[in-house]
Homo-oligomer: A and B are copies of this chain.
């Protein structure tokens, strides 16, 4: 059997190759008869147009490049899932890369996206490293879950989320506050602190359970948490906000082994509202993934269709707190 190309279909249907093209692209102005014949041949032989040729010709690939930093956190999995569904709906495929928090790998992925003529990029960045270079690209790029200024971004309002948690704790009568995270300049933490200060409380830095930047899985997080607990002997706070659900989970497990009761002794609130939180009954800040993804794709489509790049947008969605037994 010959390789299946338009030419081949044309021959079989007794028309010219361009007529086949017209039929496939749903162009008007094709004889009913001819169209039926072409369609039938296509059906019979199972012909599928070669995307590489289409891409080359149209400079449009119908691919969206997605580059994440990790898949360990279930949050990102739910994200990919939603992205794939949403992209599929509008005829796009997802080329998935994982930078694993490595800026070099990230840049390689971007290069690959360029080479493959992706129409758009969705990025969970490793940091600032490649942002400038990326913003100079001709390919529209949306950053998810964080703000990286020259680029468009869609994410939750982390500052506000931190505030909500802080206020929630205060209303519940707590007077001493803890936090688990990797970076004290993080917006979640800043929002949390500001809620405390605005209400006449303060945050004691010794209650910041600092995880190493590189502690990107349960095991490493757990180790850091254990280290902290072993060091401080007794906890000087009665409530705890964690940077994500995994940290909340690991803290709660470590606490249980030490007979620290959640929520009686310590209230815990996590972040992301992944199914980990649902499974374990952890209160958590909900990330409206569906909405975020829809918004992201909307902006991306807009950027892809309208060459004229207007000002970049930073969209911050409103966080909500889902309360469960841990608080």
Question: What sequence of 0s and 1s flags, for each residue 52-71 of chain A, a beta carbon within 8 Å of any chain B beta carbon?
Answer: 11011000010100000001
Task: Determine whether A93 belongs to the interface, using a CB cutoff of 8 Å to chain B.
Answer: yes
Tell me the bound Cα distance from A53 to B115 in angstroms: 10
B218 and A115 contact, CB distance less than 8 A: no
Known: A50-B56, A52-B56, A56-B52. A97 touches B117 (CB 8 A): no
Tell me the bound Cα distance from A74 to B63 in angstroms: 25
> Which of A49, A51, A84, A94 has its CB near the most chain B CB atoms (within 10 A)?
A51
Q: Which residues of B contact A111 (CB under 8 A)?
A: 48
Tell which of B48, B95, B116, B218 touches A275, judged by Cβ atoms closer than 8 Å.
Answer: B218
Task: Determine whether A81 belongs to the interface, using a CB cutoff of 8 Å to chain B.
Answer: yes
Q: Which residues of B contact A36 (CB under 8 A)?
A: none
A279 and B218 contact, CB distance less than 8 A: yes
Task: Determine whether A325 belongs to the interface, using a CB cutoff of 8 Å to chain B.
Answer: no
Q: Which residues of B contact A95 (CB under 8 A)?
A: 63, 93-96
Q: Which residues of B contact A115 (CB under 8 A)?
A: 48-51
**6 CB < 8 A contacts A-B:** A48-B114, A51-B116, A52-B52, A52-B116, A88-B97, A93-B95
Beyond the given A51-B116, A93-B95, A253-B279, could you list 7 further A-B residue pairs with CB under 8 A, ordered by the A residue number? A52-B52, A52-B117, A85-B98, A93-B97, A94-B96, A95-B95, A96-B96
Q: Which 9 A-B pairs have the closest CB atoms?
A: A52-B55, A52-B56, A96-B96, A51-B115, A48-B115, A51-B116, A48-B114, A77-B77, A52-B52
